[in-house]
Chains A and B, each alone.
Chain A
Amino acid sequence: MNLIIEYQAQLLSGTWVTIRLALMSLVIAVMFGLLGAWAKLSKNFVAQKTAAAYTTIVRGVPDLVLILLVFYGGQQMVNSFGGMTGLWDYVEISQFAAGAGTIGVVFGGYMTETFRGAIIAIPRGQIEAGVACGMDRFTIFHRVIWPQMVRYALPGFSNNWLVQIKSTALVSVIGLQDVVYNGFVAGRSTRQLFTFMFAVLMIYLVLTAISDLGLRWLDRKYSKGVVRTDHG
């Protein structure tokens, strides 16, 4: 316990990196998810196929492999291109950008499917009714699709988000000093690995518990006026 207090600055700075990374990659994932869902449901052939390729690839390849590929392979590629063309000598891909970008794009693939499912779940007739009432496309999205899509998407979204928070741990491989990296280094340095792994475990539990509260609040907000019949 004393050791954890001694190393608390390390653990806290790591936790802060984890939180920033999770939020940043969430923003990217939601953007890619909405874009992907739109593309998959659009009548445009190219958009459909692009989105299909995107979700197949990012959901089919381990996140860790992609992170390593982007961070090391990407940098090697960028630099050998610079060296070949003589445009630049050395460019550094930041660990945070590589980590947040990769995790965001990967989870964008899962979000795509979650959002697509939620949109499909909205009865077609409601959208037709909107058209009949003379709503434009933005109004239909804003007043009819979005509020219901959020409700239908929330359970899947919550799952994705919880997995995503934990996936941020993968970035410790590329040397980004998140809570796992700092916990591991402190554990090895003091030869008290289990003490620090336990502390890291508790930190993740706190983060996911807080997320859970927020998600439940969202669920209540978007379920207003909906009567639950599934559990009597």
Chain B
Amino acid sequence: MKFTKIKTACAAIALMFGLAGNSALAADLRVGVEGAYPPFSWKEADGTLKGFDIEIAEAVCKELERKCVLIEQDWDGMIPALKARKFDTIIASMSITEERKKQIDFSDKYYNTPAKFVAKKGSGLEISKVGLKGKRIGLQRGTTHQCFMEKIYPDAELVLYGTQEEVFQDLAIGRIDAQFSDSIAADDGFLKTDAGKDFEFTGGDQHDEACHGPGAGMAVRKSDTELRDDLNRAIKAMRADGTYQKINAKYFEFDIFGG
């Protein structure tokens, strides 16, 4: 950690000469998190934040030997807050997409869960161009999944919803033939609940690189290349020393890092 010491010394000298300190040299790493997306992040009754993203954030800080300051932020204001320097990075299951890359920069992926269809048990729904033709498929609008369906299965009839909860509700009522979403979200949010007991995954993993992208990454401001490299280093180190796998095992039955 000699390098850190040199950097700190440089920062101290810079400060002595009245130069503005670079935020990347600051000791605290301010992380924007969501707290409303279980099992990745949620809030306990006593107000503490829990979940996969939260533990990953803490592990990253430990790896980088910086103090973690978790800052809760509503999803809609996440990117503006990063740009306004309310925090330095976003660790909140944010998918790396070309659209977002126009505004901000991403680390390498830290997880990539497959997308899957969910339909009624024994529905016999065939996941193919012919099988989905004219079928009503529910999904959350503005997501990577909408991009996928429009590109790969253009003949299916898409029913778009504002939130994932609404999709599950209409699937349970029977207004749609199937739904398409992230497999973890569907498993935890629907299949494992009472409302989802008559439903199942069907058709296996679906993936399209152009639509789904490489997975979820940690977001940084475009100018913060140093922090981005630090985060990439931390992700690699966590994968190598087993920290990641330990956290993963607490929440999921399989390795969500993906291939």
Contacts and interface: CB of A to CB of B under 8 A. Distances in A.
Interface of A: 6-7, 9-10, 68, 71-72, 75-76, 79, 83, 86, 88-90, 92, 172-175, 177, 181, 184-186, 188-191, 193
A185 B43 CA distance: 7
Contact of B20 (A86, A175, A193): A86
A188 B77 contact: no
A8 B36 CA distance: 17
Given A6-B45, A90-B23, A189 B35 contact: yes
A173 B76 contact: yes
A94 B15 CA distance: 26
Interface string B8-51: 00000000000011010000000000011110001111110000
B43 A72 contact: no
Does more than half of chain A's interface fall in helix, strand or loop, or is it mixed? helix
A75 B77 contact: no
Contacts of B38: 188-189, 191
A184 B36 contact: yes
Contact of B85 (A6, A10, A79): A79
A173 B81 CA distance: 11
B241 to A, nearest CB: 30
A86 B163 CA distance: 44
Interface string B169-192: 000000000000000000001000
Nearest to B32: A175
A168 B43 CA distance: 22
Interface residues of B, number: 28
A46 B178 CA distance: 63
A72 to B, nearest CB: 4
Given A89-B23, A175-B72, A175-B74, 4 more contacts: A71-B84, A75-B86, A79-B84, A181-B74
Contacts of A9: 45-47
A186 B85 contact: no
B211 to A, nearest CB: 25
Interface string B66-100: 00000111101100110111100000000000000
Residue of B38, B45, B46, B71 with most chain A CB atoms under a 10 A cut-off: B45
A175 B33 CA distance: 11
A6 B45 CA distance: 6
Contacts of B21: 89
A175 to B, nearest CB: 5
A8 to B, nearest CB: 8
A89 B38 CA distance: 36
Contacts of A6: 45
B193 A191 contact: yes
B84 A75 contact: yes
20 contacts: A9-B45, A9-B46, A10-B47, A68-B80, A72-B80, A72-B81, A76-B83, A79-B84, A172-B74, A174-B74, A174-B77, A175-B73, A175-B81, A184-B36, A185-B72, A186-B45, A188-B42, A189-B38, A190-B42, A191-B189
